Amino acid sequence: MHRLRRTYALAAVLLACVGPHPAAAEMSKITIAHQFGLGYLPLYVMSDQRLIEECAKLEGVGDVIVEWVKMGSTAVLADGILSGNFTVASAGVPPFIVVWAKTNAKVRMISALNEQPMKLNTNDSKVNSISDFTDQHRIAVPAIKTSAHSILLGMAAEKVWGKGSGNKLDTLQVPLSHPDATAALLAGKGQITAHFSTIPFTAMQLANPKIHTILTSTEILGGPSTTTAWWTTERFHDENPKLYEALVCAADKSISFVNGNRAQAARIYKAAEPSNMSDSEVEKIISDPEVTYTMTPERTLVFGDYMYRAGVISKKPTSWQDFFFSNVRSLPGS
């Protein structure tokens, strides 16, 4: 919780700095921070193909330095965007919504990046639903209360135990990055007995016959949903209009690249996040019909509605469009 309080304090600093500013040259260096997994494949393609730099020149910005940072914690991502250490952050939708609410919408999403079924896997053969968890079990999530995985557990708890029961599984959750949680689950010797995760970590886990899936985000939400997105501050958007358009351009180009060059995209991912998986195994994962790379948001408002009702945020969203800058609002999102 101390990280969450720190985030709120930093939000106040951001709000104090969002007033009018004199026109100035656009930024020459930006820092983009994101988490781990194939949900961030468009970002890895942007980095490998230097698409932001290419699009910046097309927009007339000139040479731009792009720094890429991998972070395992959504709380650190929130702190970084609010403090100005990161220009852009990328993670699941709920971590963004926390920052969006606390800054009174001074941080918004640039676009969605990926849809995929997030899966709750366990190495305990006796656990076949969340109602089978006991005080002896521990569920790994990237962050408690604010990560998409933790919020999904709250939604699932309400489906089983009724409204107002969203915090029932909170005491079982342990904050861990996806790579560390996957290693712990596969080892089967520590306290971690379940992990709510994304590709490729879910596939790596399910390759072990002792691990099975008990719940997916698709089941909880009633259909596909945006898994990863990226966002920035209103101030950056307003003061760097050409560079912002370069980000939108790069997202479009990178997603088109992934969808049209899956084999090469798989190799790019393997170079960015080395693993024991082969290139063909990665290509198979991103070619799954349930895995989609798109800028169009899906079921983002469902998260916002639940988070407001559960008291995670105090600002109520009225539309999914509240979360995005204007470049996305004309898309058929939700």
**What is the reported pLDDT for 162?**
95
Structure tokens at 23: 């026109």
- For residue 88, is pLDDT > 70? yes
The CA distance from 332 to 132, in Å, is 38
Query: How much is the average pLDDT of 38-53?
Result: 98
- For residue 5, is pLDDT > 50? no
Domain ranges of the chain: 2-11+24-116+225-329, 119-221
Kindly indicate the confidence band of residue 74, based on its pLDDT and cuts at 50, 70 and 90: confident
CA proximity to 117, closest of 208, 270, 221:
221
**What is the reported pLDDT for 287?**
97
pTM reported for the whole predicted model? 0.88
**What is the reported pLDDT for 24?**
58
- Please list, in sequence order, all residues whose beta carbon lies within 8 angstroms of the beta carbon of residue 208, skipping any fewer than 6 positions away: 123, 186
Provide the CATH number for the domain formed by 119-221 in this structure: 3.40.190.10
**What is the reported pLDDT for 19?**
43
Q: Which CATH superfamily is domain 2-11+24-116+225-329 in?
A: Periplasmic binding protein-like II (3.40.190.10)
Kindly indicate the confidence band of residue 7, based on its pLDDT and cuts at 50, 70 and 90: very low
- For residue 4, is pLDDT > 70? no
Between these two residues, 331 and 15, which has the higher pLDDT value? 331
**What is the reported pLDDT for 9?**
47
Please report the DSSP string for 25-74 in residue order.
PPPSEEEEEE-SSGGGHHHHHHHHHTHHHHHHHHTT----EEEEEE-S-H
Give the tens place of pLDDT for each residue, 110-141. Answer: 999 999 999 999 999 999 999 999 999 999 99
Q: Among residues of the chain, what percentage have pLDDT more than 70?
A: 93
Amino acid at 272: A
- For residue 93, is pLDDT > 90? yes
Query: How much is the average pLDDT of 78-91?
Result: 92
- For residue 151, is pLDDT > 60? yes
Q: In what order do the strands lie in the sheet with 292-293?
A: 65-70, 29-34, 88-91, 226-233, 107-115, 292-293
Give the tens place of pLDDT for each residue, 152-208. Answer: 999 999 999 999 999 999 999 999 999 999 999 999 988 999 999 999 999 999 999
